[in-house]
A and B are shown apart, each in its own frame.
Chain A
Amino acid sequence: MERAENVSRFIDVNLQMMLDLPSGSNQQWRPLVSISGDDAVFTSRYATATRENVIKFLALDMENPNSIVSCLRAARENSRTVREAISSEMWEQVNTSYLAINAAASNPLLIHSPYSFFNEVKKASQLFDGVAEATMLRGEGWHFFRMGRLVERADKTSRLLDVKYYILLPSLTDVGTPLDDIQWAAVLRSASALEMYRKRHGHIAPEQIVEFLVLDHEFPRSIHHCLTAANDSLHSISGTPVGMYRNPAEQRLGQLRAELAYADTEHIIKRGLHEFLDGFQTKLNLADQCIYDTFFALRPIGASAPYRAGQ
């Protein structure tokens, strides 16, 4: 669900940026595919990275496991398998959204006017989140749900920032010009961050935007905020006090969170924003894998459990 929402945000930011480019500029759609990490799948299925092909691939392609429709299908199937653990309202919400978005996806006019479609997807995900927030027991199930969602969100916020890196500026001299500002504003808007950013920092300035989306403590889509909350949930599940670790998942996620807690924007930009984000994504993937190994991989009884709760 969260992924479907974020793919919508990607495409949306790109559409917005393209609209603001001076006429005659080349439209850049290929980077969107690179950012989602599905280059190989795309090239095997489409000849060129036109606007139409990329939107088809990212939004409607059932064969692309990360497309919006695939994500929704997976969200629904997963909800079905854990139906006894989630509330009826959550199940109805995911099911209704799946049906509505599937119906909308089969509309041939969608490609030409996709804005309301992406808005629908975003809303579906937010509704699901809200229903879960309001109905779920704050037990293990809830913490797994929240952790998964926040890890995904942290990853996608980093990729959203990366969109800007890939969109080549017409020339270096454009940095700091109105065009640059417009593009940064589009990035913020697609993270639902523009108004909150304005409250915090006022003027559009790249360092402060990086600060806001990566390091801010209080903005709910900032990477740091997401990881702090995900880390809290991880520790609620295991019972390990925050700040300590008893398994690789806690170690990796804790390290990554601490790295962000002590990072500063100047350093990140000096090192190169893209390099920083790339490195972050790799480490987050590793932490994610550790979470799976710790909690979900099947182990025979008697084999030492990865950790013991409440010791």
Chain B
Amino acid sequence: MQFATYETANFYDEMFLADGSPRSGARLLQERIASLPDGELLARQAAAERLLLQNGITFNVYSDSAATEKIFPFDIIPRIVEAAEWDWLEKGLKQRVYALNLFIDDIYHEQKILKDKVIPEALIQSARSFRKECVGLNPPQKVWCHITGTDLVRDRDGQIYVLEDNLRCPSGVSYVLENRRILKRTFPQVFEALRVRPVDEYPSRLLSTLQSLFPAAMESPKVALLTPGIFNSAYYEHTFLAQQMGVELVEGNDLVAANGRIMMRTTKGFEPVDVLYRRIDDDFLDPEVFRSDSLLGVPGLMEIYKKGRVALANAPGTGIADDKCIYAFVPKIIEYYLGEKIIIPNVPTHVCAEPRELAYVIANLDKLVVKAVNESGGYGMLVGPHATPEERSEFALRIQENPRNYIAQPTLALSRVPVIVNGQVAGRHVDLRPYVLYGTDIYVLPGGLTRVALKQGSLVVNSSQGGGSKDTWVLMS
């Protein structure tokens, strides 16, 4: 009964075909949900929410004097990815991360790709995310981006695109693990029957990746997770990952640079740390090198890092590869370094820094999504078709003032999934963020975070903009 009134409404639906029948991988789930007695689906949704609350996976809403806590919205109907599609995605993600890493290493050394005029030099020079302090750095095994989160979307015709790369401190993986823990309790029979690829090994994979970074031959290098502290919105994830890996969680003032090592304060005095999984931005890492007013970092960290006496994940400077202008060049980057065609295509992107593209963007604002290059989290963007004429002309001025700071893409009709809204099942737009680890080899966590735009018709899935999440089930082949 649950899906009787459900409409795919001319969008690509991740669970249903246009005629309303379930896709082959989703059939079992659809049957199971349809067979539940009245009210049972909602009861399970409520039980899942209660679990999240008990696990303290919450954020504060300061609407009145007493801060109330809310869970991050979570929907229990999983999103299913079939085996063949995932295998293709996995290959594409490995290709992309491998090439982007070569690009970062090149940019901070010989800059061959600029000399060969594949990417305009001016674009790098003007990039805020280019760190001159990182020129000549040699991270262990020449790997810079150890942890990557790549945002994928699907258009109306079923084609999947890479929407964005996140190579700095991508967050959200803790929700993948927690969502899975909850869904195993919510739909145990379907889960078992469908043979879903596991995600639980992520913490140990992450730990191995981090341990592989310490250059000196050591049996078990000391790893710590560096957090900005309890007021950071991802603090929950920091504690979660530290706990799951069994490593220390530290803040900047727990660390000091001394005798050429990074030392961690303990009750027994100071102990050296070999690898830092840092969840603070480059800007705040080391006040002697980056922002001098940073209280979050460790003075002298970069000096020790350069000497190879401590490893950092991700390496500083990786932000250059997720600059939204550089994004437009990723197909060329892959071709340049690997001699291969890009596997998962990019969304066609207009770089406003190019005068001809700028003119096109200004003339077609009503059809485009415009994004500020230096923003993330869904801030500083314009969804042209959903904006008023006033908003569009105001945005046009902003673009013309600083074209380097904007890119534009056609508005995709993002695919949808069924979501429980006000007791009914309704279609909402989604994306998918898989996580990629790069240590001695490249590993892609099967699935990733499925983010849902909970507002009807909305295309913005970020949690800061009213997005929720779902568990992602990648089926075994």
Residues on A close to B: CB < 8 A? 62, 76-77, 80-81, 83-85, 88, 91-92, 95-96, 99, 140, 237, 295-296, 298, 300-302, 305, 308-309
Contact = CB atoms under 8 A, between A and B. Distances in A.
A286 to B, nearest CB: 20
Interface residue tally on B, bucketed by range: 20 to 34
Contact of A301 (B53, B225, B239, B270): B270
Given A95-B55, A95-B56, A309-B268, A84 B239 contact: yes
B265 interface: yes
A83 B258 contact: no
A88 B235 CA distance: 16
A164 B150 CA distance: 66
B240 A83 contact: yes
B136 to A, nearest CB: 29
19 contacts: A62-B66, A76-B56, A80-B235, A80-B239, A83-B239, A84-B225, A84-B239, A84-B242, A84-B243, A84-B248, A91-B56, A140-B267, A298-B253, A298-B265, A301-B258, A305-B268, A308-B268, A308-B269, A309-B269
Given A80-B230, A83-B249, A301-B263, 9 more contacts: A80-B239, A88-B55, A95-B55, A140-B267, A237-B267, A300-B256, A302-B258, A308-B269, A309-B268
Contact of A295 (B235, B253, B267): B267
Contacts of A76: 56
A96 B269 contact: no
Contacts of A295: 267
Nearest to B244: A84
A129 B116 CA distance: 66
Contacts of A309: 268-269
B263 A92 contact: no
Given A80-B230, A302-B258, A92 B242 contact: no
Nearest to A87: B243
Nearest to B269: A305
Contacts of A95: 54-56
Contacts of B66: 62
Contacts of A84: 225, 239, 242-243, 247-249
Nearest to A304: B269
Interface centre among B56, B247, B269 (most CB of A within 10 A): B56
B54 A81 contact: no
Contacts of B268: 305, 308-309
A80 B56 contact: yes
A302 B269 CA distance: 10
A83 B53 CA distance: 16
A239 B248 CA distance: 22
Contacts of A298: 253, 265
Contacts of B269: 305, 308-309
A248 to B, nearest CB: 15
Contacts, number: 52
A181 B113 CA distance: 91
A269 B247 CA distance: 52
Nearest to B238: A84
B251 to A, nearest CB: 10
Nearest to A81: B230
Contacts of B270: 301
Lowest 7 CB-CB distances: which A-B pairs, in order?
Answer: A84-B242, A83-B239, A84-B243, A95-B56, A84-B249, A305-B269, A309-B268
A81 B263 CA distance: 20
Contacts of B53: 99
A91 B57 CA distance: 11
Contacts of B239: 80, 83-84
Contacts of B56: 76, 80, 91-92, 95
Interface in B362-418: none
A301 B449 CA distance: 42
A92 B182 CA distance: 14
A296 B266 CA distance: 9
A84 B55 CA distance: 14
Interface centre among B248, B249, B253 (most CB of A within 10 A): B249
A124 to B, nearest CB: 13
A298 B254 CA distance: 9
B54 to A, nearest CB: 5
Interface in B262-277: 263, 265, 267-270
B299 to A, nearest CB: 12
A92 B55 contact: yes
Nearest to A86: B243
Contacts of A305: 268-269
Contacts of A296: 267
Interface centre among A76, A80, A84, A85 (most CB of B within 10 A): A84
A88 B253 contact: no
A83 B265 CA distance: 18
A99 B54 contact: yes
A85 B243 CA distance: 7
Contacts of A88: 55, 243
Nearest to B239: A83
A91 B239 CA distance: 11
Contacts of B263: 301
Contacts of B230: 77, 80-81
A95 B236 CA distance: 13
Contacts of A301: 256, 258, 263, 270
A147 to B, nearest CB: 12
A276 to B, nearest CB: 33
Contacts of B55: 88, 91-92, 95
Nearest to B246: A84
A223 B263 CA distance: 39
Nearest to B248: A84
A295 B267 CA distance: 5
A237 B269 CA distance: 12
B272 to A, nearest CB: 12
A99 B55 CA distance: 11
A111 B242 CA distance: 42
Nearest to A141: B267
Nearest to B270: A301
Contact of B243 (A62, A83, A140, A302): A83
A60 to B, nearest CB: 13
B301 to A, nearest CB: 14
Interface string B322-344: 00000000000000000000000
Contacts of A77: 230
Nearest to B250: A84
Interface in B125-142: none
A83 B247 CA distance: 11
B252 to A, nearest CB: 12
A149 to B, nearest CB: 17
Nearest to A91: B56
Nearest to B247: A84
B164 to A, nearest CB: 30
